[in-house]
């Protein structure tokens, strides 16, 4: 029987439909909003620790706090802002969030003390629009194209981070960190313009695959596999933030690499380009060859080894460049793998909740990295931060080794607008009989079925026909 089903899967017809012009516009406009915001947040990463030493009242701890402060308010507000968008609309929340972000940028730009910059960064993080943007993306796209839209937004974040690392170093010499904050405010206002005039309008509905459900928090927070991933993203961004408090110092310090800050972009530009290329084969091996856990654990170990390399060889410019390249190659692999793992391991109907908690952990990690990195810098110097990061990553290796290997399934949603409560069992059975469908959870009040599917074998034509049947009441 299993062989018969496998043979059916291989020959299953696949419904192919191109993205509409509205969906393409949604993908490009929402990706640009994300990119503009992430550029603003991360352009100060490669330069602020040096700039912060010139501010009134600075200490290593407060410099780290300023770098990571946005993560605290981002972690606090991103889920509530997403829920607020269900009540008052996606665009009003996104516009308000971008205006708050612009306000924080202006406050940071005008600050002449470290406390003013911290206040600005805290306000920047308060404009938490990530959940609202994802919900709007779901409103604007059909189920069969939603994964593509989410992937394009994810890619925009990665590209924005890479560009920010290079652009921050270049702009620092042209307009200074104050100027970068002013430019960040301009980017935020551009995001408002994009939201008003480029992002399409769409009827609003609730999407469990992109939005958190409060009733599911307990279930997700008690899932040990998902908690391992939440701990992982927290550690990864804690290490990233802590490391880039001290990397600019190591590159500039005359007792270390002795490279003027004006030339740091000459390192970041080739490193980012090469690292993005080097990550691709590992992602292919992880997904297509189904070696996700091995690649994942290996990447964590490589980031840990790069931190040990920073610690042991930070007096050599060439060594620092090599280990920065190794760091970002493995970092990119982990950034791409973690959301995929969360999607694979989350309950069928609770992906939105799982991703919400995951994102909160990511921002909390950035905050912890700032305050811990700054404190360790003041107490033990640059090497203390590198050793702490290596230790934290070693703990993550142990956590990841105990993780179950994921099932290679993707989430999919089918609209079923005419399903009665007493039909749930039959509809569920009918859905799981369709080629490529591994799990199905039917929720009549949502008018949808939430599926785990094998995309390469999925009979999308069958799903579309099934959905039409239950939408038209032809049962």
Boundary residue ending a domain (146, 164, 199): 199
Shared-domain flag, residues 419 and 396: no
Whether residue 148 is found in the same domain as residue 255: no
The two counts, helices (H) then strands (E), for the chain are: 17, 3
Q: Beginning with the edge strand found earlier in the chain, give each strand of the sheet holding 437-443 in spatial order.
A: 410-415, 448-453, 437-443
* Confidence band, pLDDT 50/70/90 cuts, at residue 472: low
The whole-angstrom separation of Cα 225 and Cα 400 is: 9
For residue 3, tell me if it sits in a domain: no
Specify whether 378 is located in the same domain as 231: yes
Say what the pLDDT of residue 328 is.
96
Q: pLDDT per residue over 281-308, tens digit each?
A: 999 999 888 899 999 999 999 999 999 9
pLDDT score recorded for residue 1: 39
- Report the distance separating Cα 72 and Cα 86, nearest Å: 23
Q: Is the pLDDT of residue 270 over 90?
A: yes
Residues 414 and 398 in one domain: no
- For residues 189 and 293, state if they share a domain: no
Query: Considering the domain boundaries, does residue 8 fall inside one?
Result: no
Distance (Å) of CA 349 to CA 132, 318, 344, 442, 450: 19, 49, 12, 9, 5
| CB 352 within 8 Å of CB 219 | no
Would you say residue 203 has pLDDT above 90? no
- Read off the CATH number of the domain in which 235 is found: 1.20.1250.20
Same domain assignment for residues 119 and 138: yes
pLDDT band at 255 (very low <50, low <70, confident <90, very high): low
pLDDT at position 471 over 80: no
Last residue of a domain, one of 408, 437, 456: 408
Residues 352 and 425 placed together within one structural domain of the fold: no
pLDDT band at 256 (very low <50, low <70, confident <90, very high): low
Evaluate whether 238 touches 331 at the Cβ level (below 8 Å).
no
Average pLDDT over residues 339-349: 89
Confidence of residue 5 (pLDDT cuts 50, 70, 90): very low
Q: Which residue has the higher pLDDT, 166 or 10?
A: 166
The CATH number of the domain holding residue 421 is 3.30.70.100
Mean pLDDT computed over 51-56: 94
pLDDT of residue 13: 39
Average confidence score pLDDT of the chain: 89
Q: What's the pLDDT at 219? A: 93
pLDDT band for position 419 (cuts 50, 70, 90): confident
For residues 213-229, one letter each, b for 16 or more C-beta atoms within 10 angstroms of the residue's C-beta and e for the rest, the string is: beebeeebeebeebebb
- Is 377 within a domain? yes
Q: Which two tokens stand for residue 127?
A: 């404009």
Q: What is the dihedral of CA 423, 428, 433, 434, to 10 degrees?
A: 100
Of 195 and 458, more confident? 195
In terms of domains, do 389 and 424 share one? Answer: no
Does a structural domain hold residue 209?
Answer: no
Q: Say if residue 349's pLDDT is above 60.
A: yes
Q: For 88-121, what is each residue's pLDDT tens digit?
A: 999 999 999 999 999 999 999 999 999 999 999 9
Residues 280 and 352 in one domain: yes
DSSP code of 457? G
Q: How confident is the model at residue 387 (pLDDT cuts 50, 70, 90)?
A: very high
The verdict on 440 and 339 lying in the same domain is no
Tokens of 467: 């959905």
pLDDT for 304:
98
44 part of a folded domain: yes
Instruction: Check pLDDT > 70 for residue 171.
Output: yes
> 413: which strand partners?
450
Phi and psi at 307, nearest 5°, equal: -65, -40
Report the C-alpha gap between 318 and 32 in whole angstroms. 35
| CA atoms 412, 415, 421, 425: torsion sign | negative
Query: Is residue 7 domain-resident?
Result: no
Q: In total, how many domains does the chain have? A: 3
- Do 466 and 384 share a domain, yes or no? no
Q: Decide if 212 is inside a domain.
A: no
Domain identity same for 237 and 144: no
- The mean-pLDDT minimum among 43-52, 149-158, 412-421, 434-443 falls in 412-421
Phi and psi torsions of 420, nearest 5°: -90, 160
Does the global pTM surpass 0.85?
yes
Q: Which pLDDT score, from 0 to 100, does residue 3 have?
A: 44
pLDDT of amino acid 7: 42
Q: Is residue 10 part of a domain?
A: no
Whole domain around residue 423: which residue ranges?
A: 410-472
Q: Percent of the chain scored above 90 by pLDDT?
A: 63
Q: For residue 289, what is the DSSP state?
A: T
Kindly give the residue spans of alpha helices, DSSP state H, lying in 198-264. Answer: 217-221, 224-252
CA 293 to CA 281: how far, in whole Å? 15
Burial bucket for residue 203 (CB in 10 Å: 0-12, 13-18, 19+): exposed
17-34 average pLDDT score: 88
Q: Is the pLDDT of residue 372 over 90?
A: yes
Is 90 exceeded by the pLDDT of residue 259? no
Last residue of a domain, one of 376, 408, 440: 408
Which stretch of DSSP H or E encloses residue 412?
Answer: strand 410-415
pLDDT > 60? residue 454: yes
Q: What integer pLDDT is reported at residue 475 of this predicted model?
A: 43
């Amino acid at each position: 029987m299993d062989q018969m089903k496998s043979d059916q899967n291989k020959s299953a017809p696949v419904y192919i439909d191109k993205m509409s012009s509205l969906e393409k516009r949604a993908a490009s406009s929402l990706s640009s909003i994300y990119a503009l915001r992430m550029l603003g947040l991360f352009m100060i990463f490669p330069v602020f620790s040096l700039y912060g030493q010139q501010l009134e009242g600075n200490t290593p701890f407060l410099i780290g706090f300023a770098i990571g402060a946005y993560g605290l308010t981002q972690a606090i507000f991103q889920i509530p802002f997403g829920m607020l968008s269900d009540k008052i609309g996606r665009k009003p929340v996104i516009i308000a969030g971008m205006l708050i972000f612009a306000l924080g940028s202006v406050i940071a730009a005008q600050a002449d003390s470290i406390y003013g910059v911290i206040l600005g960064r805290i306000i920047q993080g308060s404009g938490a629009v990530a959940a609202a943007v994802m919900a709007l993306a779901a409103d604007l796209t059909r189920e069969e194209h939603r994964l593509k839209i989410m992937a394009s937004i994810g890619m925009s974040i990665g590209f924005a981070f890479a560009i920010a690392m290079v652009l921050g170093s270049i702009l620092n010499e042209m307009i200074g960190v104050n100027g970068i904050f002013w430019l960040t405010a301009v980017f935020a206002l551009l995001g408002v313009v994009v939201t008003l005039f480029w992002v399409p309008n769409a009827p609003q509905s609730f999407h469990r695959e992109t939005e958190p459900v409060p009733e599911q928090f307990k279930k997700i927070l008690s899932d040990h596999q998902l908690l391992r991933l939440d701990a992982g993203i927290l550690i990864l961004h804690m290490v990233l933030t802590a490391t880039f408090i001290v990397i600019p110092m190591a590159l500039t310090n005359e007792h270390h690499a002795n490279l003027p800050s004006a030339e740091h972009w000459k390192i970041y530009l080739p490193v980012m380009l090469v690292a993005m290329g080097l990550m691709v084969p590992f992602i292919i091996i992880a997904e297509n060859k189904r070696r996700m856990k091995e690649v994942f654990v290996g990447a964590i170990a490589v980031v840990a080894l790069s931190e040990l390399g920073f610690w042991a060889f930070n007096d050599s410019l060439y060594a620092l460049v090599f280990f920065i390249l190794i760091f970002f190659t493995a970092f990119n692999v982990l950034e791409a793998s973690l959301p995929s793992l969360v999607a694979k391991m989350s309950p069928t109907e609770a992906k939105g909740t799982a991703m919400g908690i995951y994102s909160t952990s990511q921002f909390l990690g950035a905050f912890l990295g700032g305050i811990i990195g700054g404190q360790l810098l003041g107490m033990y110097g640059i090497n203390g931060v590198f050793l702490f990061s290596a230790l934290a990553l070693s703990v993550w290796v142990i956590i990841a080794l105990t993780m179950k290997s994921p099932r290679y399934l993707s989430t999919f949603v089918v609209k079923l607008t005419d399903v009665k409560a007493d039909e749930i069992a039959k509809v569920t059975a009918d859905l799981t009989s369709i080629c490529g469908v591994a799990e199905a959870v039917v929720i009549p009040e949502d008018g949808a079925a939430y599926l785990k599917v094998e995309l390469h074998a999925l009979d999308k034509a069958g799903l579309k026909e099934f959905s039409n049947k239950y939408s038209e009441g032809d049962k």
